Homo-oligomer: A and B are copies of this chain.
């Protein structure tokens, strides 16, 4: 008897209760598993950042600062867009990060409307620590797949992301 995961049980339940609603098992399974994996990953980040004494949204902001083309520096607007938060929300985040000494806000020399956010030494340090913990947990997860499977999964996921990222026609 093959092992079942939460999603298998979910789909079976659905099948028996909602026979009248149009519903593709395989689609629902893929979508549900992606959601559940993301929930798990969110949990790993949560424990990783808690360990170094930082909050998840603070880590996310530092992370976004570090993974860009100009590592460690960006405008509040860029960060807000990357992280999917509003401008107002980013102002609040930066207030907190600045008070904690993890970033610094400087006026832009070219454009006096602009602000340049820069990560500090201690900000980069705490980010690295959280990164390491988080990375280790992610590797543990993906380690259940062989190299071949990992590449296969990556390829299939990329087919989906390419579609989501493609500019959509406006009807």
Q: How many copies does the complex hold?
A: 2
Question: Does any Cβ of B come within 8 Å of A14's Cβ?
Answer: yes
Q: Give the CA-CA distance A34 to B152 in the complex, in Å.
A: 14
Task: Give the distance to chain B from A20, nearest Cβ to Cβ, in Å.
Answer: 10
| Chain A count of residues within 8 A CB distance of the other chain | 62
Indicate if the CB atoms of A38 and B34 lie closer than 8 Å.
yes
Question: Does any Cβ of B come within 8 Å of A141's Cβ?
Answer: yes
Indicate if the CB atoms of B150 and A159 lie closer than 8 Å.
no
* Chain A residues within 8 Å of B, Cβ to Cβ: 3, 5-8, 10, 13-14, 17-18, 21-24, 26-31, 33-41, 66-69, 71, 84, 128, 131-132, 135, 138-139, 141-142, 144-145, 147, 149-154, 156-165
